[in-house]
Amino acid sequence: MHKQLVINVADHETRVALLEDGEIAEFYVDRGDDSDIAGNIYKGRVLRVLPGMQAAFVNIGLNQAAFIYVDDVFHDDFKEYEQLFEMESDALALMKALGSEKLITPIPFDEKIEWTYFFLWHHEGRRARMGASMMGPDYTQWHGNFEVADRFYMELVPEIEEIIDEAKKHGKTAQANKVQALLDDILNSEMHKWFLGKSDADEIAKRKAASAEFRKRYSE
């Protein structure tokens, strides 16, 4: 009987097969201390993104690429970071609509609302983004999110409504209605509907519970 020992060694695994007359008689796998890599932290490079599955293959230096779902890394902090861009995108969409419907002039910064938008995007928005990127809670929240929201809801929206009213008075009803429709769509979206008092009961309860937990944690 002809016997042959075949050994295959990889970074994290050694496989040994005993062949007898060309047939596998015994087979062993030794993974040493690296048999379970779950929970380890690796620096990796994204190889391929699968948008339909909301997942990606990531090279972490092993024989096979790791597979990761977006929910594994996309936590609430990142969602809040994305929402900063969403609010700024909504503001930009409204400004573009005012321009395309000729409810503001093409001259830069000759109307108050253009200054309002610039402060929202360049000042408060930039502070929020930089604060979130650098994990600076004070600049993310109070000098960022809070002031972005204040500028958006308390200044930009009222100024747009005022422009709409003035446009209707001067016979630009069709143009004004287009901007109004866009504004209504934005304010009734999931992100902004709380401003109209349209939050779901579950969402209100969730926010109250989070607020209570926050007060409890930082008042003790």
The 3-state secondary structure of 42-85 reads CCCEEEEEEHHHCEEEEECCCCCCEEEEHHHCCCHHHHHHHHHH
16-69 pLDDT tens trace: 888 888 888 888 777 665 556 666 777 788 888 877 677 788 888 877 788 777
Return the pLDDT at 174. 97
Confidence label for 123 from pLDDT (cuts 50, 70 and 90): confident
CB 49 within 8 A of CB 56: yes
Return the pLDDT at 150. 92
For tokens 């002039």, name the residue. Answer: 105
Burial class of 15 by CB neighbour count within 10 A (0 to 12, 13 to 18, 19+): middle
